[in-house]
Structure 1
Amino acid sequence: MTELEEPGNNWRLVAARIKRGWRTQEDFCKAYEAAAISLQSRARISVRQVRRWESGRSKWPNRDARLVLTEMFGVPLEQLGFVPPVSAAGRRGVPADFKPSLEDDVLRRAFMGSALAAASAPLLDLTALDHLTAAARDAHRYADQELVGHLRDALDETARADVLVGPHRAMPAALGILTAINTTARDAKPEVRRELLALGSRAAEFAGWLHRDAGSPEQAIAYWHGQAKEWATFTGDGAMHAYVLMRQAQALGRSDPARVLDLARSATSGPWTLPPRPRAEALQQEARGMAMTGADTDEIERVLDQAHAALDQATEPAAPPACTGPLGDGYTRERLMAQSGICLREAGRPAQAVTVFKSYLSPKAFAPRDYAHYSAFLAGALAEAGEPDEAATVALSVLEVASTARSGQAIGELHRSAQALFPYRERPAVRELHERLLLLSAG
């Protein structure tokens, strides 16, 4: 269950839950049960009850639940957004004009996407937060172009934070933005609702990416891709729908080659037109699906040539990736070639893949985490090409970056490289790689 399955009107409880690492309502239920057992209480809750608490429909928990919640969070329930009955408030000495504490305000800012990775400036400043609060109370009046602009800026800032510090740190902000979009779009004026849902489609696709890179279950990734396509359909954005299909193909990795190919082909040949840069990426993904399903080498090369031709049609220069800019605006020739190297490796041509990687993969052309991601594939290609020492050296060089960002994709590919290097496990560099990956898994 994710935050958007019910409107999160009680944002204080949602924010406090996420802050403590309970990212889903199911996680919260398990933590609640553990706390109840430690108190020797028989109190139990369901996801449905958590949903009621987080929607604000349940104002004040019963006595047993209050004890468990206090044990879990260590703060008065009022700071979790619960509203006591008047008589109960009097007995507890809570003044009628109770105001949130400073910690409560910090939680609010964190949930809406501020203070990521020790950044000093919030993603939403006080003016934006006030505007969002007003829109949550009266979306028809206050959900306007200014609010859309605030949320767009916050989403782009969250994407930049993901590049710098990884998906786990960016996730709460992204979910907060999605909750804000989902809540305010319900009652917004039609023209503003359309813009909010268009932005929501971008944000949902980004959430799918974050869940994928964080190593979340496939169901969570699929949920966000489905939400992104639904909102793209509502707004008539066929290109966005196709883009999400391509992202779905990428998210499958090597788990279902036939479906990877079907999704990629749907992105490139469906009833929509992708702009040149994302079309080039989708064609590359189609070629990769063909390689994984055993297509003829000439056919794979033909589709890769089409990808290059599509990229040649891009009239604007590549820009730093942004969630709200033109689709695929950060897709460069270097990225296409790095992904082509992956395709060559899948086609059983690791030596050629190594040549491509070494020609186009450089720290200047890629952000550190992306460089680590593609270098992990280079390590695997080197292992399969019979260069175990160099493969292990490359893998070790990117392990620290991948582990610091907690990039599940890069770390997963490093494990795959380590498996290919198992026959050479007595070599010093290979042995060190295996040991460090074991320590990382144990941590």
Structure 2
Amino acid sequence: MSRAPGNVRLKSARVAAGFASQQALADAIGRSAPKLGMRGVTAGVRQVRRWESAAPPWPHPDVGRVLVHLLRQPLEELGFTPPWGQSENRPPDPMCLDPVNGTTTAAALTPVPSGTTSCLKPVRVGQDFADVTRAHRRLYWSVAPATLHPAVLGHARLGCALLSETVGGSRAVIAAALAESYLLAGRIEFFDLRQADRAGETLLRALQAAGEADDSLLGSAVLAHTAFIPGWAGRRDDAVERLVAARAYARRGPASAEFWAWLDAVEAECQTRCGNLRTALHLIRHGEDVLANGSEGASPPWMDWFDATRLAAFKGNTQLKAGHLPQARETLQSALDQLPAESGKQRTVILGDLAAVEAAAGDPEKACAYACQALEQLGTTWYATGMDRVRDVRRSLAAWQHEPCVRDLDDRLYSWGTTVSALRR
């Protein structure tokens, strides 16, 4: 039985570029990346071997850029198949023009997928796709996550199909909107559905799409979200490494003061969950200083999950974990008072933390009152992270489990509606 020839395109391009061995190409990637403004980008000989196999994986966006720089060919021509759809190498239809300037340029001559009977999509398609992405972003705050999630993934699949049929400015618009859609899906999977492994895969797709759009700030946001996964699992070094990468991408942005403060808040939460409370409090103070100093640039419209009130919520949670109960109570109450009415998900988290403060202070009645308010909000706006806070509070009330207020909380926590809803989600 004959062996599969492997990715002969990449191998031929490698040899033609003067890299006689796979190790030589791997070394060249490590040397060239810093010259292109990318630190920490490397590739080993094993990775190059996988690229030259019969089924080469799509490279990481930064590594892909270095490959294109070194070999002077697009990734598709080097034998890679993009994750958003396959393309067939055949002469392009001369009637298919660049939707940006109406000319048949080299960029416009992207191979059209087999089975496509029309020319490349008009520029309006990209805007229409992005409009739906923006609508999903707004719906996240009011629609049940289990209901919204399939719609977001379906929209992302559409984006993958459209991406292989567009070029120029329209392709960049679709790629950016696709990255947003995958980011939203990953957020739902991690924060709402508690599917960390699945979220990691989805966020990787978001990063690949952001690389196609060449949107460094969006790439930074995706990388920061990936840090939550190891951070919540107690793997501090992995979380910090991803945040170092997120900050490197943000410097290419440029990023707003709000964006920089959010990166501090993300790292602070990861440090808090790993038990490094002093470091977390330092990061939050730095984020507060960044917000106070401000910046000229505005945050991107897709960054609708963070502001000064959210930073205060991060701070209150860290103060709680550090045992600074009076400060935590004051911080969290202030954040709750300033929280916009439409921020129901964040409200459940703050109420849960306030309940935890009172439980730690030895006041079960106040703790139960806040926990019941959180459950009431969860009945309107489900949020798995908020429910986790309430369950943690209930565990901390074991010493008072025979008190009437705790029994009332149990009746609310384990009602038919709440129990079925939690199991369904």
TM-score normalised according to structure 1 size: 0.61
Instruction: Name the structure 2 match of 1:337.
Output: 312
Cα distance per residue 1:262-291 (max 9 Å; x no partner): 433442356744432121111022223333
Instruction: Name the structure 2 match of 1:418.
Output: 394
Name the CA shift for 1:261/1:353 in 2 (closer, same or farther; >3 Å). Answer: farther
Alpha carbons 1:205, 1:228 under 8 Å: kept: yes
* Matched residue type, 1:310: V
Instruction: Name the structure 2 match of 1:361.
Output: 336
Cα distance per residue 1:180-227 (max 9 Å; x no partner): 101111122243222211111111101111222332422211111111
Instruction: Name the structure 2 match of 1:150.
Output: 128
Instruction: Name the structure 1 match of 2:267.
Output: 286
Matches of 1:308 and 1:140, distance apart in 2: 53
Between 1:223-232 and 1:148-157, the stretch displaced more is 148-157
Matches of 1:436 and 1:230, distance apart in 2: 43
Q: 1:227 aligns with which of 192, 198, 205?
A: 205
Shift of 1:146: 1.3
Matches of 1:269 and 1:345, distance apart in 2: 31
SS at match of 1:361: helix
Shift of 1:378: 2.1
Matches of 2:224 and 2:382, distance apart in 1: 24
Q: Could you tell me the percent identity over the aligned residues? A: 18
Higher helix share: 1
* Matched residue type, 1:279: W
Name the CA shift for 1:249/1:329 in 2 (closer, same or farther; >3 Å). Answer: same
Shift of 1:426: 1.5
The answer to whether structure 1 residue 393 and structure 2 residue 343 are counterparts is: no
Q: 1:428 aligns with which of 381, 386, 404?
A: 404
Alpha carbons 1:389, 1:429 under 8 Å: kept: yes
Q: 1:309 aligns with which of 286, 289, 293?
A: 289
> Over the residues paired in the alignment, what is the CA RMSD in angstroms?
2.9
SS at match of 1:141: coil
Which ranges of structure 2 fall in alignment gaps of 5 or more residues? 1-84, 86-112
Cα distance per residue 1:333-388 (max 9 Å; x no partner): 11111111122223343442222101221275352232123222222232223222
Alpha carbons 1:197, 1:231 under 8 Å: kept: yes
Cα distance per residue 1:165-190 (max 9 Å; x no partner): 22122223212211110111112224
Instruction: Name the structure 2 match of 1:249.
Output: 227
The answer to whether structure 1 residue 203 and structure 2 residue 181 are counterparts is: yes
Alpha carbons 1:354, 1:378 under 8 Å: kept: yes
SS at match of 2:411: helix
* Matched residue type, 2:317: I
Which ranges of structure 1 fall in alignment gaps of 5 or more residues? 1-54, 56-134, 319-324
Matches of 1:149 and 1:175, distance apart in 2: 18
Shift of 1:330: 5.4
Cα distance per residue 1:140-169 (max 9 Å; x no partner): 735233112222221222222221122122
Residue correspondence of structure 1 range 110-259 to structure 2 within 5 A: 138=116, 141=119, 143-251=121-229, 254-258=232-236, 259=238
SS at match of 1:164: coil
Moved over 6 A (4+): none
Name the CA shift for 1:269/1:289 in 2 (closer, same or farther; >3 Å). Answer: farther
Name the CA shift for 1:436/1:255 in 2 (closer, same or farther; >3 Å). Answer: farther
SS at match of 2:141: helix
Name the CA shift for 1:296/1:423 in 2 (closer, same or farther; >3 Å). Answer: closer
Shift of 1:252: 5.2
The answer to whether structure 1 residue 260 and structure 2 residue 260 are counterparts is: no
Instruction: Name the structure 2 match of 1:406.
Output: 382
* Matched residue type, 2:257: P
Matches of 1:334 and 1:369, distance apart in 2: 13
TM-score normalised according to structure 2 size: 0.64
Matches of 2:250 and 2:338, distance apart in 1: 38
Matches of 1:247 and 1:382, distance apart in 2: 30
Name the CA shift for 1:211/1:329 in 2 (closer, same or farther; >3 Å). Answer: closer
Matches of 2:122 and 2:251, distance apart in 1: 29
* Matched residue type, 1:435: D
Shift of 1:326: 3.4
Matches of 2:269 and 2:220, distance apart in 1: 17
Alpha carbons 2:258, 2:291 under 8 Å: kept: yes
Matches of 1:309 and 1:334, distance apart in 2: 14
SS at match of 1:311: helix
Alpha carbons 1:205, 1:224 under 8 Å: kept: yes
Matches of 1:139 and 1:161, distance apart in 2: 34
Name the CA shift for 1:362/1:243 in 2 (closer, same or farther; >3 Å). Answer: same
Residue correspondence of structure 1 range 345-356 to structure 2 within 5 A: 345-356=320-331
Residue correspondence of structure 1 range 431-442 to structure 2 within 5 A: 431-439=407-415, 440-442=418-420
SS at match of 1:163: coil
Name the CA shift for 1:419/1:261 in 2 (closer, same or farther; >3 Å). Answer: farther
Matches of 1:249 and 1:224, distance apart in 2: 14
Alpha carbons 2:234, 2:273 under 8 Å: kept: no
Matches of 1:294 and 1:199, distance apart in 2: 36
Alpha carbons 2:378, 2:386 under 8 Å: kept: yes
The answer to whether structure 1 residue 276 and structure 2 residue 257 are counterparts is: yes
Cα distance per residue 1:290-347 (max 9 Å; x no partner): 33444463x44432222123223244778xxxxxx43535532111111111222233
Cα distance per residue 1:74-111 (max 9 Å; x no partner): xxxxxxxxxxxxxxxxxxxxxxxxxxxxxxxxxxxxxx
